[in-house]
Structure 1
Amino acid sequence: MSGICDRRVVVVTGAGRGLGRAHALTFAAEGACVVVNDLGVGLDGTPGPDSPAARTADEIRAAGGEAIAHGGDIATSDGAASLVRAALDTYGRLDTLVNNAGFLRDRMLVNLAEDDWDAVLRVHLKGHFLTLKHAAAHWRAEAKAGRPPAARVVNTSSGAGLLGSVGQGNYSAAKAGIVALTLVAAAELARYGVQVNAIAPAARTRMTERTFAAAMAAPEDGFDAMAPENVSPLVVWLGSAASEGVTGRVFETEGGRITVMEGWRPGPTLDKAARWTAAEAGEAARELLTQATAPEPVYGA
Structure 2
Amino acid sequence: MLVCTTIPQIRSALQAHYPEKSIGLVPTMGALHEGHLSLIRASKQENDLTVCSIFVNPTQFNNPEDLLKYPRVLAQDLEMLEKVGCDYVFAPEETEMYPQPLSLGIDFGDLERTLEGTHRPGHFKGVGVVVAKLFNIILPQRAYFGQKDLQQFLIITQLVQQLNFNIQLKSCPIIREKDGLAMSSRNRRLNEAERQVAPKIYEALKLAENALKSHASVETAKKTALQLLNDFSVFEVEYLEIVGAENLVPLPPSMKVEEFGKPIAVCTAVKLGDIRLIDNILIP
Q: TM-score range by the shorter chain?
A: 0.3 to 0.5
TM-score by length of 1: 0.37
Structure with the largest fraction of strand: 2
Rg (Cα) greater in structure? 1
